[in-house]
Structure 1
């Protein structure tokens, strides 16, 4: 039987693997699992001078749709609000981008689908 603790542990493992995957592609990790008003930022990374807020979405398979399909406008608004809070809390003023990293499969066999600039702060 699997419960919420198992799901959290699996999510944390996938986020670590996602961060490693992105770092292998030139990004640097600033922070992870940043709780902010109304939301959580999975990964905060740097791509050169740009601060990148990465939402990691995982599904073991695509039977119920691709993980990218789970980024609704409501989710986008929550991420934008959390990002603004993060910037304010850390007194940052820099170029920012919102990326989504869709992960499918189960470790160690994972597939990554990275959408840089997946949406804009509106």
Structure 2
């Protein structure tokens, strides 16, 4: 539980929003880390991430995967509905954590509270 509280604190911290950006992101929003795995069967790792909020209420989560690629996940009304991958995306809620799956094996964990408006 402490791991997720730390992730939430990092993503939601305005102080971090002015630090260096994840490659391929604009660096203007909250930075932190999220647990992620790039391939089926890989253990979750701490991946650099940037949470970008738009004026229309949509949110983009940009995550730097192990290996350096950046995956963008797009949210509408707090639900991940597409990504920068052409593969299908789905999610499930496990308590206070949203687990996002992008086929064939990408996994991301994000505290639901990180998607709340601030």
TM-score, normalized by the shorter chain, greater than 0.5:
no
Higher relative contact order (CA 8 A, sep 6+): 1
Write 1 or 2 for the structure with the bigger share of helix: 1
TM-score normalised by the shorter chain: which range applies? Answer: under 0.3
Q: TM-score, normalised by structure 2?
A: 0.25
